[in-house]
Amino acid sequence: MISAICLPKLNNLTPTLPSTLLKAVEEAGELARAVLKFLPYQNKTAEADELLADVAGELLDVAQTCVTMIFVMEDSYGIKADDLIGVHLAKLDAKGYCFDHQRAYRISTTGNYKYLELPRLAIADVNLLTTVCKIQEELGELTQFLGKKAGASGERREIDDDKVYTGCALELLDVAQCCFTMMYILAESYNVDIDKLIRLHIAKLKRKGYCA
């Protein structure tokens, strides 16, 4: 069983909140496409394995987009990420989602990397389709903070910048949590080698020059 999923800070990228939303929507669309390709083959082992690896890779890309922006917000927007992770975990508790409270879910530093770990949630009836839908819901809520609540289209502004940033960071955590939870399920229920996929994912990021 996989012990933890951690994604790194991309030291060579400086995304903004609008660019992150665009990238997250792009990656979520690619995830949806990968899931739709997989579903007809899910009971055919030979065909399913490669397609499922593609799904897991897209989940990593969606999560990485969100995690990267959280790190940027910590450095440039005055966001205290560890505090928000605490708020996020409290919300999960309030919703009755079970997870291992013994682990320390926080940002950790190893060498030149920062990593973010989120819990594996025990939620009934979670599958790839519900995960895709939930990610879209959370991206919609992120859009509300950047759009309507910030008065981006001429509406009366509902909240100040600090609350916009906090709300955006929490929504980014929610999207990442959806991805992390589904990746844990893929590892446990479909024997997907998530550790290997994360190594390949980080190698890809390095090839693209996103991190050292």
> Would you give per-residue pLDDT tens digits along the chain (212 residues)?
556 778 888 888 889 999 999 999 999 999 999 999 999 887 767 778 889 999 999 999 999 999 999 989 988 998 998 899 999 999 999 999 988 888 888 888 776 667 888 888 888 889 999 999 999 999 999 999 999 888 887 888 889 999 999 999 999 999 999 999 999 889 888 888 888 998 999 999 999 999 87
Other CB atoms within 10 Å distance of the CB of residue 160 = 9
Which residues, 6+ apart, have CB-to-CB distance to 170 below 8 Å?
84, 87, 88
Rounded Cα–Cα distance for residues 181 and 157 (Å): 34
Contact, 68 vs 85, CB < 8 A? no
What is the number of residues in the chain?
A: 212
pTM: 0.91
Phi, psi of 98 (to 5 degrees): -90, 135
